[in-house]
Amino acid sequence: MSMHEVNVTVNGTSYTESIEPRLLLVHFIREVLDLTGTHIGCDTSNCGACTVLLDGRSVKSCTVFAVQADGREVTTVEGLAEGGVLHPIQEGFKEKHGLQCGFCTPGMMMRAVELLEKNPRPTEDEIRWGISGNLCRCTGYVNIVKAIQYAADKMGGEEAVEMSGNGVSEADLADHQLTPGA
């Protein structure tokens, strides 16, 4: 079994490390780089606590091998604030009390960042659909939705683009079986 040398840019800093191919990205982030903001909740690809951005797209880092990130960019919750100023999504969670124990929060925020990038003015339904891969055992989600809406307002995004990618538009939801009455 061989070791692999990888170069991964995490939050703007380039790291070169020699790793086993079986090392999961989340362990690389937490244990090799000592960035413990990214959490491990379920370790079974379900809860979203381990969500990070890989080349800008939200992924569950417990279900990606670190070697797959070679030559690519990772953003973790530690990369959100800039120059000591909170990112609007962090400010939103603080202002709207979007967390209780805080365990799900880093993953929620990383997912919300991609959601708002694809759909800068999401409706409540679109937000709920957009964070459906993130579980929270504490809040009941209401304040998480408010926190994301706060960030959307603060970031002053354009009206929802019609094609919102995996933001999933209201039109999709309306024509969809999950909508009551469809």
Partner 1 sequence: MIPAAFDYLAPTSLQEALSLLQEHGDAAKLLAGGHSLIPMMKLRLAQPALLIDLNRVEGLDYVEERDGFLCIGAMAREEALESTPVVREKYPLLHDTALMIADPQVRNLATVGGNLAHSDPANDHPATMLAYDARVKAVGPNGERTIAVREFFTDFFTTALDEGEILTEIQIPAPGPRSGGAYFKLERKVGDFATAGVAVQLALDENGHCDTVGIGLTNVAPIPMRAKRAESLLHAESPTDAAIDEAARLAAEDCDPTADLRGPVAYKRAMVEELTKRALRKALQRARG
Ligand X SMILES: Cc1cc2nc3c(=O)[nH]c(=O)nc-3n(C[C@H](O)[C@H](O)[C@H](O)COP(=O)(O)OP(=O)(O)OC[C@H]3O[C@@H](n4cnc5c(N)ncnc54)[C@H](O)[C@@H]3O)c2cc1C
**CA–CA dist 114, 102 (Å, integer):** 20
Residue 94 interacts with ligand FES (CB under 6 A)? no
Among 58, 75, 76, 139, binds partner 1 (CB under 8 A): 58
Is the Cβ of residue 57 or residue 94 nearer to partner 1 in the bound state?
57
Is the Cβ of residue 97 or residue 140 nearer to partner 1 in the bound state?
140
Is the Cβ of residue 68 or residue 157 nearer to ligand FES in the bound state?
68
- Binding region for partner 1 (CB under 8 A) out of 8-16, 89-97, 111-119, 143-151: 111-119
For residues 4 and 67, is the Cβ–Cβ distance under 8 A?
A: yes
- Binding region for partner 1 (CB under 8 A) out of 50-58, 81-89, 97-105, 141-149: 50-58
**CA–CA dist 124, 130 (Å, integer):** 10
Is the Cβ of residue 7 or residue 45 nearer to ligand X in the bound state?
45
Among 7, 18, 21, 153, binds partner 1 (CB under 8 A): 21
Q: Rule CB under 8 A: which residues touch partner 1?
A: 1-2, 4, 20-22, 24, 43-46, 48, 51, 57-60, 63-65, 67-68, 70, 111, 114-115, 130, 132-133, 163-166, 168, 172, 175-177
Binding residues (CB under 6 A) for ligand X: these are 45-46
